[in-house]
Each structure stands twice: as structure tokens, then as C-alpha cells.
Amino acid sequence: TIALTGDMPYDAKGVLEVPNIIADINNNPKVDFTLFDGDTMSGKGDKCADAAYPALKTNFFDKFTRPIIYSVGDNEWVDCDRAVKGGYDPLTRLALVRSNYFQDATGAYISLGGKFKGTIPNVLHDALYPELQMFSYKGITFIVPHVPGSANNAPVTQPAFKTYNDTATDGNEAEYKARDAANVAWIAKGFAKAKADESVGVIVLIQANMDWEGYARDAAAPNNENTAAFAATKQALLTGTLAFGKPVLLQNGDEHWFQVDMPMNETAGKLIEKDKGTLVENFTRVQTFGSGFNHWVELTIDPRSETLWTFVPRIVKANIGKH
């Protein structure tokens, strides 16, 4: 059993409610660990000050009594150039994300939260991108690329695809292209590991909602900069899923509402709009609760089940909104 959550802790409400989520997860004896799909701060006001990063580790990640696996979001670095977040250079903020949560100054990798129950998995990291992680646990291969929202940090110039941005161009082409290629290679490596390990399933953990309705626009690119920025990642997931042939689960955050769907359709090995082509039946997506809706999702994995995945939304009583 795994706890799924993300997009927290934000704002004054999050300060009050997120400890209730952590306590609920910590007090659930079935939970082996937590998968956290990024965004450790708000994109609208939480400042990206140097001190915010170690404070988040102490006040959030370290509060989990079992491990928490973290996939990096956009609010903690991509969006830090926004005036409301302090107007920082995003690359300096990314360096702080890496040094506080993934690899310290000595080169040692950082584990977040508490210890695994029983056998500790061997977590692999990419040599250049330490936030790219991969491990096998109880017959499942876990792949953690780095795919943030805000167009994956790709250059965005059209106002329709820019949010809360006050600079002429949002994103960084060189950074985006290099990391995008690393993500594609990491996903392929993860599926190869799953096949070699004879895993019964694969879970991929990212932050961004990659605009699953936008397959046709991917091909049309430049008129949808946001969708085009995720095209290579989605294609890598499709290629890996088809070759693996067993259940694949994608977890993402970004939108803050809970949703489970099967959004992948293809024709001749290429992605296509969800109402066309052939449904990829072994690919499932779960989107987690987030800020403003401070709850979590319980994922139970049963190798005896044909579908493998069972999702239960865990509504934290102390966080139920007034109606």
C-alpha cells in the first residue's frame, strides 16, 4: 500500500491542514511509503528564498515516518522568476532543490522521510540529474523523471500559455532540451529494468498534468507551446507501455483534484487524441489531491488482480471543507 499526494504545503490553510495529512499517513499501518508528485510551495506567493528549501525538508519531508519519494514540480524552481515569488533565477533555485533533497555537497544521495519496512530497495539516480530516480519494490518498478508544469520549463512566449509571468519569455530552452532528453532516456531505462526484473507493473511519478487532450496539437506544435513541451515524455511513456505489455500507472499532480482515467490512445505507435485510435488499456493515470483540497489517495497493489491497482481517496476528517 502506497500513499499518493502532492501540491502542498501551500499558504495559511496548508500550514494548518497538511500536518493532518502527514499524521493520517503516518498512523496508517498499511502504508509502505509515500509518492509525492511535487510542488512544495505555491506558484502565486510563496517566496523562493534560500531558507525556504531546508525549512521545507525539516518541516515537511522529515515529518513522514516512512520514506517519501519526491518528483520535482514547477513552483519550487521554474516559477521562481515571477515577481510574486521573489524574482529569482530559476536555475539557482533548481540547484537548491537538488542540494537539499537529492544530493548533498559531498555527492551523497539524500533520502527523504523515514526508513523502508523490511528490505531497502536500491534507488538508482541519474549521474547528471540526481532527482531522476528508479527502483524496484515488491515486484513493481518505480520510475521518477523530472517533468514539471509551466510547460516543462520550455520557452513560452504566447500569453495564452503563460501564467502569473511578468517576463517576456518564460522558460529556458537549453535547460529544457537537455533535461527532456534525459527524461526520455530515463523512462526507457526504467521500462528496460522492469522487463529485466520481470516486474508485474510500472509506476511513473511526475508533477505535470501533461495536457492529455492535446495529442493532435502535439503534431501541430508551435501553436500550443504548453502541449508541445510534453510531447517527447508522452511518446516515451507510450513506447515503454506498449513494449512492457503489463499494467503501467502514471501519477501526476498539478491540478489539485483527484481523478483516475485511461487517457492514452495510439495509432501505429504514435499518440493520438483520446477519442480516436486505439485505447492503451494497460495505461492508467491517477491525479492526486492538492492544495485547497488537502487529502490523499491510498493505492493498493495486488499482483493477483488483473487491474493491479486499487485507489481509495482518503478524506482527512479535520480537513473537510464547510458547506
Domain ranges of the chain: 2-319
C-alpha cell at 105: 555537497
The one-letter amino acid code at 148 reads P
The CATH classification number of 2-319 equals 3.60.21
User: For the segment 69-118, what is each residue's pLDDT rounded down to a tens digit?
Assistant: 999 999 999 999 988 999 999 999 999 999 999 999 999 999 999 999 88
Helix (H, G, I), strand (E, B) or coil at 285: strand
Contact 253, 285 (CB under 8 A): no
Which range (155-169, 195-209, 289-303) has the least confidence? 155-169
* Distance (Å, whole) CA 179 – CA 145: 9
Q: How far is CA 110 from the centre of its chain?
A: 18
* Distance (Å, whole) CA 102 – CA 302: 30
Residues 122-144, buried b or exposed e (16+ Cβ, 10 A)? ebbbbeebbbbbbbbbeebbbbb
User: For the segment 182-237, what is each residue's pLDDT rounded down to a tens digit?
Assistant: 999 999 999 999 999 999 999 999 999 998 876 544 444 444 667 789 999 999 99
